[in-house]
Amino acid sequence: MAAPSFRKVPGDWTRCGMPGRGPQKRIVHGADAEHCKWRWQVSIGSPSTGQFCGGTLIAPDWVLTAAHCVGHIRHPCDVRTLRVGAGTSKRDTSKAKGLFVERRVARIFVHPLHNKNVQHDYDFALIQLDKPMPMNQCIGVACLPTRTEQVGTRCQITGWGTLSSRGATPELLQEAPVTLVNKEACEVNYTKQRQIVTGSMLCASGESNAGITDSCQGDSGGPMVCEEDGAFVIRGVTSWGQGCALRDFPGIYARVHSVLAWVEDVMGNKVRMVSAEDKQEEEDISGIDFRGAMWKVTSGKCTMDEFDCIMSPGFPEPYPSKDRCYIAVNISDAVPISVENFSTEAAFDYLSFNCRAFSGEIGPEGIIPDASIHWVSDQSIAGTGWRLCPSY
The verdict on whether 68 is a catalytic residue reads yes
- Examine residue 316 and say whether the peptide bond preceding it is cis (omega within 30 degrees of 0): yes
Q: What whole-number distance in Å separates Cα of residue 284 and Cα of residue 233? A: 47
Q: Which one of the listed residues 29, 35, 68, 111 is annotated catalytic?
A: 68
Query: Cβ neighbours of residue 134 under 8 Å, at least 6 residues apart?
Result: 60, 101
Q: Which of 200, 220, 258, 359 is catalytic?
A: 220
- DSSP letter at 256? G
Answer whether 66's CB lies under 8 Å from 237's CB: yes
Distance of CA 106 to the CA centre of its chain: 10
SS3 143: strand
Active-site choice (89, 120, 123, 205): 123
Can you state the percent helix, strand and coil of the chain, rounding each to 5?
10, 35, 55
Q: For the chain, give the number of residues.
A: 392
Q: Characterize the bridge pairing of strands 310-311 and 303-304.
A: antiparallel
Active site (annotated) includes residue 123: yes
Cα dihedral 257, 262, 266, 268 sign? positive
Q: Which residues contact 327 (CB under 8 A, 6 or more apart)?
A: 295, 296, 297, 298, 302, 310, 372, 373, 374, 375
For the stretch 121-142, what's the b/e string if a residue is b when 16 or more beta carbons lie within 10 angstroms of its beta carbon?
A: bbbbbbbbbeeebebbbbbbbb
List residues with catalytic annotation: 68, 123, 220
